[in-house]
Amino acid sequence: MKYKALLFDVDGTLFNSNHEISKLTLEGIKKAYEKGIKIAVVTGRSPSGVKSVKDQLGFSVPFICSGGAIAFDNKGKIIYENALGGKNTKDVIDYVKSLKIDALWNVYANDKWYAEKLDDYRTRREEEILCTKAETIDVNLIPSINIDKVMFIATDDVISYLDIKLRKEFKNFAIVRSQVIIVEVTANNVNKATAINSILDEWKLDKNEIIAFGDSNNDLEMLDYVGVGVAMENASDNVKNQSDYVTLDNDSDGIYYALKHFGII
């Protein structure tokens, strides 16, 4: 099989632990790009949180953001969106508040990122990771805004509890525990795989011609959907067990060596 496109998750995959694309990994991706291989980034980050990715790549590529809720072509034009919606988002936030747990909400509305508390250490940590600033909003205004995703940040035991409660209460929404301390809520059927089709249509490629890289539970559908799903060594056992190939971790240039393994570079 001649592979014609590469899809990259960001955190824990494309980025190392310093939230950077390593020199060797970037070299490999650029070599693939120069050979005519299509490149896209598929992330749970909001559109506002991918600026540092764009800056480091140095060339324009399509982006799928908010875990598959919205997709952009390489010129920044929206080519797909399946939003959760403001009313649904407010319903979820109200429900979580009724549980009386310490779970900080964040909402993504296209290129806007709104956080419940700007002075919370969890917000500051996310700002450092995403290299962008959150904004605040009156929660009562959320129903009037087109929200793509709402996520909650808490301790791992609180997220374990919340994940179960959300799945029982909101069976018509997509719920994913993307990290140990984060659970996300999007519209039904939203995941990275469903959004990929919008890019494949633009590229006129078949899904089996794609290699995708990921490390988290929100990458599972994508890794299963494409021709070859590659898990990073730092991925959870669940992700590694469901992938076609496991490469080195994100601090050891796993992407570069996988590209070599599959003859892309």
- The pLDDT score that the predictor gives to residue 174 is 97
Alpha-carbon distance of 56 to 67, in angstroms, equals 21
Answer yes or no: are the C-beta atoms of 14 and 25 closer than 8 Å. yes
The pLDDT of residue 125 is: 95
- Provide the pLDDT for residue 95: 99
**Cα 153 to the chain's mean position, in Å?**
15
Q: Is 64 helix (H, G, I), strand (E, B) or coil?
A: strand
| Widest Cα–Cα separation across the chain | 54
Q: Give dist(CA 207, CA 200) in Å, integer.
A: 7
| Cβ 8 vs Cβ 42: under 8 Å | yes
Q: Give ∠ CA 192-196-202 in degrees, rounded to 5.
A: 160
**Quick one: pLDDT band at residue 67, thresholds 50, 70, 90?**
very high
What is the pLDDT, as a whole number, of residue 248?
99
The confidence score (pLDDT) of residue 20 equals 96
Q: Using 50, 70 and 90 to split pLDDT, how confident is the model at 219? A: very high
3-state SS, residue 91: helix
Q: Is 242 left (phi over 0), alpha (psi -120 to 50) or beta?
A: alpha
- Between the two ends of the chain, the Cα-to-Cα distance in Å is 15
What is d(CA 201, CA 221) in angstroms, rounded to the nearest whole number? Answer: 18
- Distance between CA atoms of 97 and 99, rounded to whole angstroms? 5
Backbone φ and ψ of 85, nearest 5°: 95, 150
Q: Which residue in this structure is represented by tokens 């808490």?
A: 154
Which pairs from 228-236 meet CB under 8 Å and 24+ separation? 228/3, 228/262, 230/258, 232/12, 232/13, 234/12, 235/12
The CA distance from 66 to 109, in Å, is 9
What pLDDT does residue 1 have?
A: 74
Average pLDDT, the chain: 97
Q: What is the DSSP string of 192-241?
A: HHHHHHHHHHHHT--GGGEEEEE-SGGGHHHHHHSSEEEE-TTS-HHHHH
59 confidence band (pLDDT: 50, 70, 90): very high
> Which pLDDT score, from 0 to 100, does residue 57 have?
96
Q: For residue 46, what are the contacts with CB-CB under 8 A and spacing of at least 6?
A: 65, 66, 108, 111, 112, 113, 130, 148, 149
Domains of the chain with bracketed CATH: 5-81+190-261 (3.40.50.1000), 86-187 (3.30.1240.10)
Residues 82-120 pLDDT 10s:
999 999 999 999 999 999 999 999 999 999 999 999 999
Please give the residue that has the higher pLDDT: either 257 or 110.
257
